[in-house]
Amino acid sequence: MKRLLLGRPFRSDRLQHTLLPKRIALPVFASDALSSVAYAPDEILLTLSIAGASAYVFSPWVALAVVVVMLTVVASYRQNVHAYPSGGGDYEVATVNLGPKFGIGVASALLVDYVLTVAVSVSSGVANLGSVVPWVAEHKIAVAVGAVVVLTAINLRGLRESGTAFAIPTYGFMIVIIGMLLTGFFRIFVLGDDLQAPSAGLTIAAEHDVTGFAMVFLLLRTFSSGAAALTGVEAISNGVPAFKPPKSRNAATTLLLLGTVAVTMLVGIVYLSRLTHLQFMEDPGRQIVGGAGDYVQKTVTTQLGETVFGNGSVLLYVVAGATALILFLAANTAFNGFPVLGSILAQDRYLPRQLHTRGDRLAFSNGIIFLAVFAIVLIVAFQAEVTRLIQLYIVGVFVSFTLSQTGMIRHWNRLLPRERDPGARRRMQRARAINTFGAFLTGTVLVIVLVTKFLLGAWIAIAAMLVIYAVMLAIRQHYDRVARELAPDEGRPMLPARNHAVVLVSKVHMPTLRAVAYAQATRPDTITAVTVNVDDKDTRAVQAEWERREVPVPLTVIDSPYREITRPIIDFVKRVRTDSPRDVVTVFIPEYVVGHWWENLLHNQSALRLKGRLLFEPGVMVTSVPWQLASSQTRNLDRLDATLIRGPARGPRNRGGHKHGPMVTPEATEPTSPGAPGGDETAPAPADRA
């Protein structure tokens, strides 16, 4: 099933083949920023509607302010990708120039933002699709969760495959939206058509009497909502390693393309909405004068498609479908950025090491799965409502914007005094000026966002960042503590004084005899076999068989009046070590290797408990001695092994050996099940059998 869904595994040396050219990198990393033009205009008009329809006159000016910020951020991040092409992005910039704590703060903000990107993009895609397909609107939570699952599976197949799959829909969305805008403007300015949006005839009442300072506050809140169009710009700086060489130049070019296209579409949609008198409300049922009746509010892009191409036209469904698809695929930006950032943080010991491991398809599979799980939790918790989710959205991204640009200012300040070339100094000074303006502008937007959105839900995102910040510090402290404990101590002797072997016996059978023979082969200083007496009759039978076979190892019987197995063995091992703390005790546990999962329920439970307890005893080594039962031999391990290693450029393989080293037989590589094998019969007591 795994091979069917994900495909054959890739060799590590194929990593270079997964790098992306600009034509594929643009849809992979820029789909989030491009798709935000599908919901940023909605949020601008929705917020202005609080003051009534007359407030829509401010929408082009709000859009213009958002454009200024976006162009500034794009220009600033073009400096970032040249200065820090390793893929650390904002995290690396802040860590190197401001210190590790600022770096962790940026990382926590980005991690929250990536999760929200998936939740908001998918929820918005469901909303757009639900505008023309009622069934989707009725089951929006299930559809959104299903979309996240599909995106997860696609990304687990590998970066290049997901990029190729997403390139056509992303370019299709750009062509459809720009085509719709050009058609609308042509009909209005050339043909002279009087285009009216479906909502143009509605009369909207203001929810509140907004004047003076309240109006200023509303415009600031509208601007902060429209600033959602900037999300995703930072993803390219985090994904520079995924570009083909020259990486920095290709990433900077992709950023420029992203900014140009996103700005064009955002301004075009807002301006065409004004020309067609389009209205979009926060609560149609309460704001429409005379009652909403059976009015169903459609998204801005859907209304524009209906206005330009006509209700029920094929092109209207193309617009709605392309918009919904790009919003679903916009989550792919986070699926590429989150795992890479998680890998870097894991490498720096701020997140679990598993996030640094690449999967079969050379993608950071664990990071992809983590992101999907957290996004699904948000979608379900907020019922896939874009308006509720977007209040949490842009706090994190502007925290990273501001700290990153501040770090870049210090970066240039550090390099300028050492640079003697006049041309290079001018370039650095120009870059510093861009980053300084970017830091000021994004810091201002961050303050506006915090003031206008804090009580609307931004506090949840801030709380999540603080929690992640604390967790990452705790993880780093844990790894540092473990590293100190594991560091070699020159004054501490590494070799034990003596090795005492203890073989656990439940009955005299082949697994036990193999364990005894193996223990003898290790040449310990002392060796003894141990059985626990919980039933006198069974214990006497074991002793009699031991003597009859003349096993050359003494058998020690431990009494257990309360029929407990684990504690008497632990106490016995502790007594062996008490005489000399430098001695070690090696406990040999015979175990069964079974072929079916349900057989583990019938065996190995005592062995599992014993191993779990012995692992916490200092100076005690636990050795499992497996005995393969017939059921384990029915598995065609040769075929399984051949299937797992099959793939491109694997090298020749034969029964006698391997091109790169000695042949390893399937039996030798097949692991035993956890707690595997011997259990009832291998742990030294008949208690479980009873």
Q: How confident is residue 645, by pLDDT bands cut at 50, 70 and 90?
A: low
Q: At what angle do helices 422-453 and 394-415 cross, to 10 degrees?
A: 160
The token duo for 102 is 């600022």
- Which pLDDT band, with edges at 50, 70 and 90, does 667 fall under? very low
Neighbour tally for 350: CB within 10 Å = 25
Per-residue pLDDT, 183: 94
Pick from 55-59, 282-286, 435-439, 507-511: least confident: 282-286
536 pLDDT higher than 80: yes
Tell me the CA end-to-end span of the chain in Å, nearest whole number. Answer: 40
Quick check: 681 pLDDT over 50? Answer: no
The pLDDT of 148-155, averaged and rounded, is: 83
Task: Using pLDDT thresholds of 50, 70 and 90, give the confidence band for residue 688.
Answer: very low
Q: Report pLDDT digits (tens) over 601-637.
A: 676 577 788 888 888 888 888 998 888 877 776 555 5
Q: What is the mean pLDDT of residues 234-240?
A: 74
**Dist. CA 493–CA 490, nearest whole Å:** 8
Q: What pLDDT is stored for residue 501 in this prediction? A: 92
Mean of all residue pLDDT scores within the chain:
79
Q: Among the listed ranges 314-323, 331-340, 455-464, 519-528, which one has the minimum average pLDDT value?
A: 331-340
- Amino acid 528: pLDDT: 92
Phi-psi region of 663 (alpha: psi -120 to 50; beta: other; left: phi over 0): beta
The pTM (predicted TM-score) of the whole model is 0.69
Per-residue confidence band for 679, with pLDDT thresholds at 50, 70 and 90: very low
Is residue 47 a contact partner of residue 225, using CB atoms and an 8 Å limit? yes
Q: pLDDT value at position 83? A: 82
Average pLDDT of the residues in 502-512: 89
138: left (phi over 0), alpha (psi -120 to 50) or beta: alpha
Percent of the chain predicted with pLDDT > 90: 13
- Quick one: pLDDT band at residue 104, thresholds 50, 70, 90? very high
Q: Is residue 48 within 8 Å of residue 224, measured between CB atoms? A: no
- Please tell me what DSSP assigns to residue 192: -
For residue 150, the model assigns a pLDDT of 86
Residue 233 pLDDT > 50: yes
Residue 373 — very low, low, confident or very high, per pLDDT cuts 50/70/90?
very high
The answer to which of 151-165, 208-222, 591-605 has the lowest mean pLDDT is 151-165
Helix axes 89-98, 314-347, angle to 10 degrees: 40
Q: Give the bridge partners for 624, in sequence order.
A: 589
Residue type, 304: L
Among 224-238, 416-430, 627-641, the range scoring the smallest mean pLDDT is 627-641
Facing residues of 559 across strands? 533
**Interval 242-270: pLDDT, tens:** 788 888 888 888 888 888 888 899 999 99
**Cα separation of 56 and 68, whole Å?**
20
**Cα–Cα distance for residue pair 26/250, rounded to 1 Å:** 10
What is the Cα–Cα distance from 253 to 259, expressed in whole angstroms?
Answer: 10
Please tell me the predicted confidence (pLDDT) of residue 161.
52
Q: Provide the Cα torsion 342, 346, 351, 354; round to 10°.
A: 90
Cα–Cα separations (whole angstroms), residue 178 to 129, 184, 232, 267: 19, 10, 20, 11
Compute the average pLDDT of residues 517-522.
92
Where would I find the H helices in 100-212? Answer: 100-130, 134-138, 140-156, 159-189
Which pLDDT value is given to residue 469? 94
Distance from C-alpha of 360 to C-alpha of 274, rounded to nearest angstrom: 51
In the structure, what pLDDT confidence band is assigned to residue 164 with cuts at 50, 70 and 90?
A: low
- What's at 260, amino acid-wise? T
Structure tokens at 86: 């390793």
pLDDT at position 95 over 80: yes
CA separation for the pair 157, 9 (Å, rounded)? 9
Helix axes 365-381, 100-130, angle to 10 degrees: 60
Q: Strands 584-593 and 555-559: what pairing? A: unpaired
Higher pLDDT, 184 or 85: 184
Assess whether pLDDT exceeds 70 at residue 505: yes
Output the CA angle 257-259-260, nearest 5 degrees. Answer: 65
**Could you tell me the pLDDT band of residue 223, with boundaries at 50, 70 and 90?**
confident
Indicate whether 379 pLDDT > 60.
Answer: yes
**Which run of H or of E encompasses 527?**
strand 526-533
Which DSSP letter does residue 228 get?
G
Q: Identify whether the C-beta of residue 406 lies closer than 8 Å to the C-beta of residue 446.
A: no
3-state secondary structure 480-499: HHHHHHHCCCCCCCCCCCCE
Pick the most confident of 41-50, 233-242, 469-478.
469-478
Q: How confident is the model over 274-289, as a mean pLDDT? A: 81
Q: pLDDT tens-digit profile of 446-487?
A: 888 888 877 777 788 889 999 999 999 999 999 998 888 877
The 3-state DSSP class for residue 283 equals coil
Looking at residue 502, its pLDDT comes to 93
Q: Residue 592: count other Cβ atoms within 10 Å of its Cβ.
A: 26
Looking at residue 686, its pLDDT comes to 33
Type and span of the H or E element at 586? strand 584-593
Higher pLDDT, 432 or 16: 432
